[in-house]
Chain A
Amino acid sequence: MSETSDALFVAEPERAHLTSTDVLDRKWIDVNIPCKAACPVMTDVPGYIQAILEGDFETAYKINRRDNVFPHSLGRVCNRPCEPACRHGREGLGEPVAICHLKRASADFGYTPLDLEIVPNGKKVCVVGAGPAGLTAANDLAIKGYQVVVLEQYDEPGGMLRYGIPQFRLPYDVVAADVKSITDLGVEIRCNQRIDSEAQIELLKREYDAVILSGGCMLPSSVKLPGMDAHGFYWGLDFMMQANRELLNDIKLNKVVVIGGGFTAVDCTRTSYRLGASEITLAYRRTKDKMSAGEPEIDCMEEEGIEMEFLVSPVEILAKDGKVTGIRLVRNRLEEGKPVAIPGSEFVIECDAVIMAIGQTNEDLPGTKEVPEVNEVPQKDNFFLAGDFRNGSGTVIEACADGRKVARRAHQYLSGIKGYQDVVHIEEIKLDQLPRTREDDFIPLTTMPHIPVSERLAKNREVETGYTRELAQNEARRCYLCHYNFQIDIDRCIYCMACIDAMPVDCIKLAKDIDVGADGSLRYVSAAHWEEAQAITIDNDKCIRCGNCVRACPVDCISISKYTLETVEVE
């Protein structure tokens, strides 16, 4: 095993700890730290939240910078798969922790330039496309000592962070801050360089030791409907890209209908609002709960007075004298969850603009179709594909995860290492390191401050203004810190029941038996009476990490350990 890069970011104090490669320990993390397990890059969520709780925003930032590379941007626009997984959101426990807002706070208050010692390895990698996937790969390879050059067709890096997502959600200077922290590592980004011919790609493959193509999904998914050539019809992606280049500031919008249910569709409605449209309708073929845009964005859209029509599909765009006058839609019913048009249910919404935002797809760049998949990574010799270009339009964090996966494979290919392995660090924790009390369980979710609706017409003004340090620390107190594992040493336990008397919730169980599955899952066969108890166990799913049991135990048989995960190279 080689030196890992984790230590380069966050220097852990030297404490006695154990390193395990046991599947049971690895499984423990997936089962017990659900937010981390749900994150495509396995961000150490409780790690950074605990740092915020302790007022150490810098460490919180560094953990995020290490795990997800774009803390400023992701802290605003991540689609947050971790939050629905958070234990705090489970039945009866209230709302999930605002993991994403806390990520933003870590960047707002903890940003520091990285000071990594990078040892050049003499090899060169070229990345085509400066979106989150390409930049993550560039970041990871630069840390490994590669000289990385990123070629980008547009005049600024960031991909959809810069040209797709509007500034009122993600200001450009915020994207720029994240990009700078990557170029600070020595990554060179060359803008206005489009790579689209076979000759160019072949040349790159010869000039560089490896080439990673991460060109995103830059084309709107097309459907053919009558009337699409009329003035006032837009493709959602084009509309957003033009608006973000300030090219639509003079258009006259009045009544707008946007078709779609994803991020792009919602951004199109909100951008139309800022461009002066007075009546905006979002029309989506399924129901609201199936929209892929995030709940906070949908909430903001509603605040801005945008109307929604569900279970409708477009049929035809109506035009007069070459100008859009309306859209004919049909209502759908759901058949086993799939939308099916109801015959005879067509109706018209009058409007002067129709924006079709039903998805994005990749460009057909030469030589990319023939790239085979080798262990889940598309690779042909020294040529790799990454991000939305390969997977279809997705999310920023998925693009980052894919960029990381491809960078690891490229590194394996170029360095000859055998592969990678997950290791679990298990560190013993003292009672006085536990910050939580039962009161913390009752803190309500800290809402994100917003600018008032009456000030939302300013096109590029950010709507969410961010937590203060105090709000962030308050929110951090809600986290159960699921990385702590409480265990009772059964051999030493004298079954005095002192812990059971001290427990704040139903967290300590008497068990007749414990079944351990092959994958490490545990099943407790509970005992009704304590006479039949063969074991006493702590249910980490219920534990709120207050430490009452440890304090109460007369024979000191309850231990606390902290589990962290690292992926290391195998040589």
Chain B
Amino acid sequence: MRYVIVGTGAAGATAARTIKRMDRDGEVVIIGDERFFPYNRYLLTEFLSGAVSAAELFHTSEEFFEAMDIRLRKGQAVERVYPNDKTIRFAHNEVMSYDRLLIATGRSPSLGPVLRPYAKLIQRYYTFEDILLIQKRLPEVREVIVSGRGLSALDLIQGMYRVGKKITYITRGQAIDVSTVESHLMGDLDSALAEREINFVHDDRIVAIECVDNRYLVKTFQGKELWGDLVFAWDNYTPNVGCLRNTGIEVKTGILVDLRMRSSAPEVYAAGDCVEIYHPTLKNYWINFGWPNAVEQGRIAGKNMAGDNEEYQIHETTLFNILGKPLEARWWD
């Protein structure tokens, strides 16, 4: 049995481990487009500000994959899935067949049609590679502009604050934009932001960015002109589902899966930040977010791929509770 896993994040790495524990003789291949060994993505901000070391950031190494007999293919992107032929094709055109496939491609900050033309002027904040780039640029940076929804904006603001940068935060709403799932987890953010002397631009959005003498001029819908040495901006976090386009596998924004983490195509599973699942308490579809959920979904997908039949239980308490600390504590203590 050949299990192929696309994505070396929390969900993918956990699934690989789980499958190998249940099916010793199964062949497990895990593929990731990042150049690095799987790492703890949620610690990136801590790593950037020097609070954790590289050793703490990386949770796997070459020895780990050897010992587990898991084949890691890093730095290789999967371009397309062919569910009818049970094959995948890499960006470098290699074709690989699978018996069971897990899509655990996570999500990425995405730019809507307004920001898209300025993609080259925007610094992404999502991967270890991004952090390495930012580290290189930081000495020349005094002021940063942040515009984006969700908790990750807070994480980024906190990171920039810790490394001593002046921050302008642009939000479409009156207050920081967090989703309904997230909002009840937040303490009194506004005052926390105020304490950090953040320049808060509300009810506004970026409509244009220019690069002038190595600095960035940001123009807003309300007509403001703001300057910064780095611009972080995104409209949404979008599941990475490009390799499923036109495959017939049902996708809403994320890959639609049932509670056993099965997609609409036979033998194709999905887990982690790339999936969308109906959440009865929220009465809404819900795109997974958060490390513990990704781990849990990866574990269940792995088990079911190896022949078990377990259902994922959605509980809100697992949303962001990390390192034993509630989220507010982690970011705002």
A453, B207: Cβ atoms under 8 Å?
yes
Q: Does A454 contact B (CB under 8 A)?
A: yes
Q: CB < 8 Å: which of A288, A289, A333, A346 contacts B278?
A: A333
Q: Does B133 contact A (CB under 8 A)?
A: no
Q: Does B163 contact A (CB under 8 A)?
A: no
List chain B residues, Cβ under 8 A from A300: 113
Instruction: Give complex CA distance A527, B3 in Å.
Output: 35
Contact with A along B257-291 (1 / 0, CB 8 A): 00000001000000000000010100111000000
Overall SS of chain B's interface: loop
Q: Does B223 contact A (CB under 8 A)?
A: yes
List chain B residues, Cβ under 8 A from A334: 250, 256, 264
Q: Does B221 contact A (CB under 8 A)?
A: yes
- Closest residue on chain A to residue B114 by CB atoms: A303
- Closest residue on chain A to residue B89 by CB atoms: A91
In the complex, which residues 404-443 of chain A have their Cβ closer than 8 Å to any Cβ of chain B?
Answer: none
A347, B251: Cβ atoms under 8 Å?
no
Instruction: Give complex CA distance A571, B310 in Å.
Output: 72
Q: Does B35 contact A (CB under 8 A)?
A: no
A311, B285: Cβ atoms under 8 Å?
yes
A346, B207: Cβ atoms under 8 Å?
no
CB distance from A488 to the nearest CB of B (A): 27
Q: Does A345 contact B (CB under 8 A)?
A: yes
Q: CB < 8 Å: which of A91, A331, A454 contacts B283?
A: A331
Instruction: Give complex CA distance A311, B284 in Å.
Output: 10
List chain B residues, Cβ under 8 A from A347: 283-284
B112, A302: Cβ atoms under 8 Å?
yes
Instruction: Give complex CA distance A288, B113 in Å.
Output: 16
List chain B residues, Cβ under 8 A from A342: 278
Contact with B along A90-107 (1 / 0, CB 8 A): 010000000000000000
Instruction: Give complex CA distance A27, B253 in Å.
Output: 39
Q: Does B252 contact A (CB under 8 A)?
A: yes
Instruction: Give complex CA distance A331, B256 in Å.
Output: 13
Q: Does A531 contact B (CB under 8 A)?
A: no
Q: CB < 8 Å: which of B112, B252, B283 contacts A345?
A: B283
Contact with B along A325-349 (1 / 0, CB 8 A): 0000001011001000010111100
Q: Does A310 contact B (CB under 8 A)?
A: yes
In the complex, which residues 141-172 of chain B have their Cβ closer than 8 Å to any Cβ of chain A?
Answer: 172
List chain A residues, Cβ under 8 A from B117: 447
List chain A residues, Cβ under 8 A from B80: 91
Q: Does A117 contact B (CB under 8 A)?
A: no
In the complex, which residues 286-334 of chain A have their Cβ closer than 8 Å to any Cβ of chain B?
Answer: 287-289, 299-300, 302-303, 305, 310-311, 331, 333-334
Q: Does B208 contact A (CB under 8 A)?
A: yes
A287, B251: Cβ atoms under 8 Å?
yes
B221, A453: Cβ atoms under 8 Å?
yes
List chain B residues, Cβ under 8 A from A299: 113
B113, A337: Cβ atoms under 8 Å?
no
CB distance from B77 to the nearest CB of A (A): 14
A303, B112: Cβ atoms under 8 Å?
yes
List chain B residues, Cβ under 8 A from A447: 117
A289, B285: Cβ atoms under 8 Å?
no
Instruction: Give complex CA distance A345, B281 in Å.
Output: 9
Instruction: Give complex CA distance A447, B117 in Å.
Output: 10
CB distance from A310 to the nearest CB of B (A): 5
Q: Does A122 contact B (CB under 8 A)?
A: no
Instruction: Give complex CA distance A342, B286 in Å.
Output: 14
List 17 A-B residue pairs with CB atoms under 8 Å apart, sorted by A's residue number: A91-B80, A287-B250, A287-B251, A288-B253, A289-B251, A302-B112, A302-B113, A303-B113, A310-B252, A311-B252, A331-B284, A334-B250, A334-B256, A344-B283, A345-B278, A345-B284, A447-B117
Task: Identify 18 new A-B residue pairs, CB closer than 8 A, beyond the known A347-B283, A454-B223.
Answer: A288-B252, A289-B251, A299-B113, A305-B172, A311-B252, A331-B278, A331-B284, A331-B285, A333-B278, A334-B264, A342-B278, A344-B280, A344-B283, A345-B278, A347-B284, A452-B207, A453-B221, A454-B221
